[in-house]
Amino acid sequence: MTTVDPGIFFPINFYKFAQFGRVYELRIASTIILVLIFLSAMLFPSVYVRPARGIAPDFSLSADQSSLSVKESYTIYINNVPESKYYGANDHLLLTSLNGFSGTISLTYSAASSIDFGFTTRHFKQYSVSLSSNSSIQVVAGFYAYAIGNYNLTITGTTGSIVHSITLPVTVLPSPDFSIAASPSSVRLLPGSSAGSTFTVSSVNGYSGLVSISICVNQGCVGSPVLVTATTSPTSVSLTSGGSASTTINVTALSNAATGDYIVNMFGSGGGVTNGAATIDALVGPYFDLTANPSRFSVPKGSTGTSTITLTSHVPYAFNATLQASVAVPLTLCNPTCPVPPTVSISPSTVLLPAFGTATTVLTVSTNATTMAGATIAVSGGGCNCNLPSITVQLIVADPPGQSLTFDGVNVAITPSLTVSGNTVSGTVSVTVTNATSGSTIFSKTFTVSFSFSSGQTPQFVLVMPSTVGALGASCLTNPSSDQTSCIVSKDPDINIDGAVDISDLAILALAWNRVPGSPNWNPSLDLNGDGRIGILDLAIVAINWKVPMFA
């Protein structure tokens, strides 16, 4: 039996010690096998690669670009139809098998809501990749962004317990755009006339290129015919980065155009961008204008005032223009009586207005003793199927220097000289009572008046005067804004003569309710308004003067 040297490995050593025979044959066979294994490992390394001990199969995830930038995408609405412009960015993801890994990898991402990301050209939100051992595979990824700013985009690959992520900084830049504007943004037209407006297109964020211009008017934007047209020449302009260009919009009202507002809508399109923010307000009419001279005037109570109204035509033909006036009165309290609005009239109310000419008419305002202190008079034109003109005239009604009132056979002349300071009324009131028939003086006195009133109330007081028909009471109101005082006269509302109008006077009046001359217990001093009946009007006089300051 042959002993084998355990230290001998390569068969060349057997030439020294072995004999020809079986042992030699075995050594030759072993040598051939080892040589074949060695050559296979050198020539075909992929046939078998034994992983290093302690290293598990894995994969790597990387991207061609470590950071990304993209221009902002957006969507605008033109006539309620969405028009979108997308600016995208792509990156290539590389998945590589490590240590003999093979399997399916699930790809997901996380990003701000303003970033629309997807895997492959089909923009999948999730995507699975099958990776073979010792291989690599490339996946295309792309995204859009809808808000300018800096963001992070995280992409994650997962298979079983193995998870790898990469984070890519994303910068979203302003997208190229252009702005459009019209100047003037409103024009006034008459039927058959035209007006122009300058249409300006300006580069924004470096936009450059051709911008086409389109126009439509009101219902014409949806195909319906309109009686106002708008055109431009040229129909496109060329923009350089940071520059601007202009063209002229011509707006025309056809001869049969009805008066009113027409909106001219203008759109600019170019480079995939569409803007429709510019409009022109085209006003057709009115056919004529109105002016008032004076437009603000004062009329004393019981007097008349006038204002001249001038009509100016804007059309090339004559027509009959009509006018009417109305009064807008402020809210006021009926205390002690309800003020009435002034009486207004226009003469003539129809005038022949020549082509491009003028005509005049007169507004007349009349007042009386109970006319309210102020009013706004509206004068409106008519006579054409057009946008009718109107103007306003401000009226101030002034109290006369003194009041002359008549009651139950006597005349009462009242001349106030009062001022209001804060919540206090002070001054004098001169009163003269005369016989209405003979003119003889019954009573004459200058009252000194001073009292306070609450905020928000109208200052009110009563003057008590003797006369041939019994004691009279002048119920007076003072306007805190103008210091003007107005009065009405009745019999003394202080029926029991205790210096105050209160529940006692009301009780006395109630006991004589509905009495008339000839009735039992008829008392003429209780007929406060002198109408021959003790009733609701007398009760109203007591109520109006309830607990107001009294001067006798």
From CA 231, how far away is CA 205, in angstroms rounded? 29
Please indicate, yes or no, whether residues 408 and 387 belong to a single structural domain of this protein.
Answer: no
Among 33-42, 142-151, 335-344, whose mean pLDDT is lowest?
Answer: 33-42
Pick the more confident residue, 108 or 385: 108
Predicted confidence at residue 70, as pLDDT, reads: 81
Q: Quick one: what percent of the chain has pLDDT higher than 70?
A: 81
**Which of the listed residues 368, 383, 398 is the one where a domain comes to its end?**
398
Predicted confidence at residue 399, as pLDDT, reads: 59
Check pLDDT > 80 for residue 25: no
Predicted confidence at residue 10, as pLDDT, reads: 32
Please indicate, yes or no, whether residues 166 and 183 belong to a single structural domain of this protein.
Answer: no
Among 106-110, 112-116, 496-500, 536-540, whose mean pLDDT is lowest?
Answer: 112-116
Which residue is it, tokens 């050593």? 13
The DSSP symbol for 311 reads E
Predicted confidence at residue 334, as pLDDT, reads: 60
Q: What is the CATH number of the domain that holds 192?
A: 2.60.40.10
Mean pLDDT, rounded, for 392-405: 72
Please indicate, yes or no, whether residues 350 and 407 belong to a single structural domain of this protein.
Answer: no
Check pLDDT > 50 for residue 365: yes
**Which of the listed residues 143, 173, 203 is the one where a domain comes to its end?**
173
**Which band of pLDDT confidence, cut at 50, 70 and 90, is reported for residue 390?**
confident
Instruction: Quote the tokens at residue 300.
Output: 């004393």
Whether 528 and 491 have beta carbons less than 8 Å apart is answered as: yes
Predicted confidence at residue 166, as pLDDT, reads: 94
Q: 305, 307, 309: which is closest to 294 by C-alpha?
A: 307
> What confidence tens digit (pLDDT) does each residue in 139-184 have?
988 877 878 889 999 999 999 999 999 999 988 888 788 888 888 8
Check pLDDT > 50 for residue 3: no
From CA 150, how far away is CA 173, in angstroms rounded? 9
**Which band of pLDDT confidence, cut at 50, 70 and 90, is reported for residue 234?**
confident
Predicted confidence at residue 529, as pLDDT, reads: 87
From CA 78, how far away is CA 275, in angstroms rounded? 8
Q: 501, 486, 145: which is closest to 339 by C-alpha?
A: 486
Half-sphere exposure of 117 (CA within 13 A, CB side): 23
Please indicate, yes or no, whether residues 204 and 317 belong to a single structural domain of this protein.
Answer: no
Q: How far is CA 390 from the centre of its chain?
A: 26
Whether 108 and 156 have beta carbons less than 8 Å apart is answered as: yes
Pick the more confident residue, 89 or 16: 89
Check pLDDT > 90 for residue 398: no
Check pLDDT > 80 for residue 103: yes
**Which band of pLDDT confidence, cut at 50, 70 and 90, is reported for residue 463?**
very high
Check pLDDT > 70 for residue 545: yes
Residue 6 lies in a domain: no
Instruction: Quote the tokens at residue 364.
Output: 């007349």
Residue 160 lies in a domain: yes
Q: Phi/psi at 541 (nearest 5 deg)?
A: -65, -40
Chain mean pLDDT for the chain: 80
Residue 181 lies in a domain: yes
Please indicate, yes or no, whether residues 416 and 543 belong to a single structural domain of this protein.
Answer: yes
Check pLDDT > 70 for residue 299: yes
Please indicate, yes or no, whether residues 39 and 62 belong to a single structural domain of this protein.
Answer: no
Check pLDDT > 90 for residue 548: yes
Amino acid in position 162: I
Pick the more confident residue, 356 or 412: 412
Q: Concatenate the DSSP letters of all residues of 416-480 into one string.
A: EEEEEETTEEEEEEEEEEEETTT--EEEEEEEEEEEE--TTSPPEEEEEE--TTS-EEEEEEE-T
Please indicate, yes or no, whether residues 476 and 339 belong to a single structural domain of this protein.
Answer: no
Predicted confidence at residue 46, as pLDDT, reads: 46
The DSSP symbol for 400 reads P
Mean pLDDT, rounded, for 337-358: 85
Check pLDDT > 90 for residue 319: no
**Which of the listed residues 139, 173, 207 is the one where a domain comes to its end?**
173
Mean pLDDT, rounded, for 381-388: 69
Check pLDDT > 70 for residue 22: no
Mean pLDDT, rounded, for 401-423: 84
Cα separation of the two ends of the chain:
165
Q: How many CB atoms neighbour CB 24 within 10 A?
A: 15
Residue 53 lies in a domain: no
From CA 141, how far away is CA 233, in angstroms rounded? 45
Residue 378 lies in a domain: yes
Q: What is the CATH number of the domain that holds 110?
A: 2.60.40.2310
Among 36-40, 307-311, 502-506, whose mean pLDDT is lowest?
Answer: 36-40
User: Of 117-126, 306-315, 447-456, which has the strongest mean pLDDT?
Assistant: 447-456
Check pLDDT > 50 for residue 24: no
Check pLDDT > 50 for residue 23: no
Mean pLDDT, rounded, for 394-404: 69
Residue 3 lies in a domain: no
Pick the more confident residue, 187 or 5: 187
Pick the more confident residue, 171 or 34: 171
Strands of the 288-293 sheet, one edge to the other: 288-293, 304-313, 358-366, 343-347
What pairing do the DSSP bridges indicate for beta strands 550-551 and 460-465?
A: parallel
What pairing do the DSSP bridges indicate for beta strands 390-398 and 296-300?
A: parallel
**Which band of pLDDT confidence, cut at 50, 70 and 90, is reported for residue 15?**
very low
**Which band of pLDDT confidence, cut at 50, 70 and 90, is reported for residue 39?**
low
Which range of residues forms the domain containing residue 454? Answer: 403-551
Check pLDDT > 60 for residue 31: no
Q: How many CB atoms neighbour CB 98 within 10 A?
A: 14
Please tell me the pTM assigned to this model: 0.39
Q: How many domains does the chain have?
A: 5
Please indicate, yes or no, whether residues 547 and 418 belong to a single structural domain of this protein.
Answer: yes
Mean pLDDT, rounded, for 248-261: 83
From CA 493, how far away is CA 540, in angstroms rounded? 10
